[in-house]
Structure 1
């Protein structure tokens, strides 16, 4: 009798190397998909969001709140951003650039919440990169599309209403002390080296510092015997190498007195003239999806045709750091386009201090702290 179905011959077992390779490929694929669509790790590199977020905080950033973006630059090493780990070698090539779309999210960005995004203009690194490989930043979204923003004497106003100041908001102070203050004394006030700098001696011999402080920290310092006086530093940015945005307002606006400025939104119509082009011309050229945009003689030309009115094609946001005098943000590089939005920080999953000794490197009290 002939058997129709035969028992298959036993397959040759995989070698340990092939098993290891297959497991690694599977793990990297799953991790890449998870990182792209759900949650990505992000580290705080600068003190611009202190005291809400500290340098060395590692954040879990949700991609699903605002909707994940489909990849724009497909030719890059998995689980990298900009460079290969520990090197200056780019981890991508930009030979292929795909159109990017945003998947449905839970909601839109809200006014007043921290947001991770790709910076539209990196003032510290002029390297030209695709949108999805621009430097990650985290700031607070202080105004959304369609809002009118103004800062008067350090107080933020949105649509004419004073905004609630974030808890732990910092400003720059000039501190005059009897003598130079040692680092240990300053750490008692929860100040790291990023929070202060020694400026020299005043005419009366006082040691002069610039310090980025909360109102509570400033009040505490006033009460210690070695501090002679402490006042807000109104001249911190007088000689700044970073001009205020928009440049036409640099002579009349500053980081503490700014606006009024309208944040553009999808469908908003704008009359084209010299004044509006000075504010919105750059984003029309770079972020609105037009291939041929020129600004000549106070005129806007799209695909060779002069335009007298313009309708915006996407939403924009205005971002600021909580350490208001120690933050390069929208006051300096302008609006954040919606297609630059990455995600919402959820919580701190690790926090490491670069200045503490080995036994105190980990800030245990910050682990799993929610980001607000």
Structure 2
């Protein structure tokens, strides 16, 4: 078993190294699920096979020692050398390959349950959500906000809150589901979303903008035009554009860029619902899908480029920055 455990750990190290070096895309949810199953198997084997065997061997050792001492005492020998308790503890001790498998099962199980059903940490890898989220922000994602989903297969089994405009959501990238993306929901099923001349409209209603002070981008070492966008958050479907609570959040826009910067007609599921012009794009959001955009409007690959996010790709709602090692003032909730 020690050899088998060594082989398993070697495979784990090789997989993690290749993942870190970018040789292949890893699936942490699947990896954690497999680690939980493997350590569970070792834990069950330890509880019902290996530990009883060691306990039986320790009991036999103690019985043999007691028999030996009784026989020596019968022969008149009172002083007997040897400490059987020390030998018994060595027999009962777990071998290394059980310490590093069965011993880790409770911890891995706890992490698996917390990450699968409650909260998942996520690191912001790019500047597409500046100024709301900056590169290096470590955030928490609420996994049960939109409903309980089975890990690995991501199938929803219990419904919860509906997705609303203005939510900052983590989802599996439709082009490559092994990659997680984070963007803001600007369109829910039934909405008509237009981004024309760098202005957003929901169901024919322009989303109000208010100019703010320029934003200094530390990674770019430059200033960017910053606005407050008042996105209608509640209400679902066409005609609900101006209903319900408004989500106030900041965006960046570069007026010097063309209106349809980087956008062009392309093929993706539901692309027939979109119209591309020199001024921008207009899309009708199909049932069970969402239209996502980054707050850094001219530096974000989002639904304008690769289409809609299906409901089954949802990971959870992002809500809190728990650490940024470069700027502790970043810690806190965000809109």
Q: What TM-score results when the alignment is normalised by the length of structure 1? A: 0.52
Work out whether residues 168 and 182 of structure 2, in 8 Å CA contact, stay in contact via their aligned partners in 1.
Answer: yes
The superposition leaves residues 204-262 of structure 1 with CA deviations (integer Å, 9 ceiling, x where unpaired) of xxxxxxx643159xxxxxxxxxxxxxx82133865x4x6345678999525x6321x21
Which one has more relative contact order, counting CA pairs under 8 Å at least 6 apart? 1
Deviation per CA, 1:31-60: give whole Å up to 9, x if none.
112111111110111111110000100111
Corresponding residue for residue 62 of structure 2: none
Q: Which of these residues, 252, 258, 263, is aligned with residue 235 of structure 1?
A: 258
Which residue of structure 1 aligns with residue 304 of structure 2?
Answer: 331
CA distance in 2, matches of 1:33, 1:366: 28
* Cα distance change on mapping 1:148 and 1:27 into 2, 3 Å: same
Q: Which runs of 5+ in 1 are unaligned?
A: 1-7, 73-97, 123-130, 171-188, 197-210, 217-230, 266-314, 353-360
CA gap of 1:54–1:318, structure 2 versus 1, over 3 A, is: same
**Deviation at residue 152 of structure 1 after TM alignment:** 3.1
The verdict on how the C-alpha distance between 1:109 and 1:20 changes in structure 2, with shifts beyond 3 A counting, is same
Does residue 1:34 correspond to 2:114, yes or no?
yes
User: Could you say which structure has the larger radius of gyration?
Assistant: 2
> Where do 5+ consecutive residues of structure 2 fail to align?
1-54, 60-90, 229-253
- 1: distance between equivalents of 2:213 and 2:171? 21
Following superposition, the deviation at residue 153 of structure 1 comes to: 2.6
Go from structure 1 to structure 2 and tell me whether the alpha carbon gap of 1:250 and 1:102 turns closer, same or farther (over 3 Å shift): closer
Q: 1:165 to 1:328 in 2, by over 3 A?
A: farther
Contact 2:148-2:160 within 8 A present in 1 as well: no
Q: How many residues end up aligned between the 2 structures? A: 220
Q: If the length of structure 2 is used for normalisation, what is the TM-score?
A: 0.57
Q: Give the aligned partner of residue 370 of structure 1.
A: 333
* Residues 272-311 of structure 1 mapped to structure 2, 5 A cutoff: none
1:151 pairs with 2:195: yes
- Residue by residue over 1:269-294, the C-alpha shift from the partner in whole angstroms, topping out at 9 and shown as x without a partner, is xxxxxxxxxxxxxxxxxxxxxxxxxx
CA distance in 2: counterparts of 1:244 and 1:31, whole angstroms: 43
Q: How does 1:62-73 map onto structure 2 within 5 Å? A: 62-72=142-152
CA apart distance, 1:162: 2.4
Equivalent position of 2:37 in the other structure: none
Q: Deviations over 1:104-135 (max 9, x none)?
A: 1431111111100011125xxxxxxxx4xx21
User: 1:198-237, aligned counterparts within 5 Å?
Assistant: 212-215=224-227, 232-235=255-258
Aligned-partner Cα distance in 1 for 2:121–2:110: 15
Moved more, 147-156 or 158-167: 158-167
Looking at structure 1, the residues matched to 310 and 256 of structure 2 have their Cα atoms a distance apart, in angstroms, of 32
- Greater helix content: 2
The structure 2 residue matched to 1:57, chosen from 137, 147, 169, is 137
Q: Deviations over 1:344-372 (max 9, x none)?
A: 012001113xxxxxxxx3x11112x1131
Cα distance change of structure 1 residues 47 and 244 upon mapping to structure 2, 3 Å threshold: farther
**Greater Cα shift, 242-251 or 40-49:** 242-251
Deviation at 1:160, TM superposition (A): 1.9
SS, match of residue 29 in structure 1 = helix
- Does the 8 A contact of 2:147 with 2:157 survive in 1? yes
Distance 2:301 2:151 in 1: 27
Q: Which residue of 1 aligns with 2:217?
A: 191
Contact persistence 1:245–1:330 (CA under 8 A): no
